[in-house]
Amino acid sequence: MEAQKFTEANKPENSEIQTFTFAYPQAELILESGEKLGPITLAYETYGKLNAQKSNAILILHALSGDAHAAGPDGWWSNLIGKGKGIDTDKYFVICSNVIGGCKGSTGPSSTNPKTGKPYGLSFPLISIGDMVQAQKHLIDHLGIERLLAVVGGSMGGMQVLQWMVSYPERISSAIPIATTLKHTPQQIAFNEVGRQAVMSDPDWKNGDYYDSSPPSKGLAVARMIGHITYMSDTSMTEKFGRRTRADKEPFKFAADFEVEGYLRYRSDNFVKRFDANSYLYITKAIDNFNLLNGHSLGSVFKGLKAKVLVLAFKSDWLYPAYQSQETVKACKLAGVDASYCEINSTYGHDSFLLETKQETQLIGDFLKAVANGNGNGNHT
């Protein structure tokens, strides 16, 4: 398979990135939009060992700005995935891939279009959560895994979990959607649209054709600030910042006087160094277009699903409030799916799914153990 070139801007730190390329000419991936895309490269990482029966594989699905580097040093879920942790790499073979449309090694708008020799930019086709999952299924096939022990993810990762439950129910033994929804509300779409407008209003965006010049850093920074506000809760922001002012205030009337202002600027400045603005546009649009109930009733969407499901939500999450996770549980119950629900009392807001790993470790660890034992492969060897 062809290896994709990595730059310092798109390579996760301390990672053991692998690549899988497919959808060559005459076999391009047919997207939900009807357009074709190929060749496609997926960047992915694996942790632990696949057992002889190939029955201990768990697919981790990342959120909007995530990547394949989920565990190990600097991994975005390293407190949950690893030896002796909730997703124990001594027991399970863990896979995480960067989504198509991304900018961390997988094919996206910043990748070279083989037809032109230049970055795709806005010529890249619109992608969906379903397209992301379809590409992941090709990777799982490539790894020779017929049935995943579990698919696990939060936020946009949770949407991918839900899509797996509908698109490939026979390929999964269990599913853990966390802090997510069956479809976006108008408010959730509105926040993303403001972020997209911030990017597209930046003069450096140049209608997506900025790869040979300065990227739209200011617009993307504003978009990320908006996102960070929605990821936290009023309580967590009060506890973290209060109304404290910075000791090193700049001599300017509209400088970042408050600590919360400095935090937003710091986080957004770091984000623009590692993320592509066009990928931000494409991925947020895929999230907004996601609607698992499209053409289905609540009681029919998971009809026939045999996988066990654990749904997790967080009390302080106002971006993806608990009622949306409860709707997923209701859909499971109406379809006769074996589903459990836990609402965790946390003050971190939507970020809880990344931060409350102690509670998630207990819940997810016990759930996976029960699923593995039920599949007759409790020893994972």
Catalytic residues: 155, 317, 350
Cα–Cα–Cα angle for 200, 205, 206, rounded to 5 degrees? 110
Tell me the CA distances in angstroms from 193 to 86, 206, 240, 283, one per residue in order: 35, 18, 27, 12
Question: Which strand (E) or helix (H) includes residue 314?
Answer: strand 308-314
d(CA 279, CA 285) in angstroms, rounded, equals 10
- Pairwise CA distance, residues 154 & 133, whole Å: 15
Helix (H) or strand (E) holding 29: strand 29-30
Q: Tokens 């599913």 label which residue?
A: 175
Beta bridge pairs of residue 344 = 314
Give the tokens for residue 28.
């391009």
Between CA 20 and CA 142 the distance in angstroms is: 8
15 close to 69: Cβ distance less than 8 angstroms: yes
> Which amino acid makes up residue 52?
A
The answer to whether residues 109 and 122 touch, using CB atoms and an 8 Å cutoff, is yes
CA gap 96, 44 in Å, rounded: 6
| DSSP three-state, residue 118 | strand
Q: Which residue in the block uniquely carries the two structure tokens 């990748």? A: 111
Three-state secondary structure call for residue 46 = strand
Judge if the upstream peptide bond of residue 114 is cis by omega within 30 degrees of 0.
no
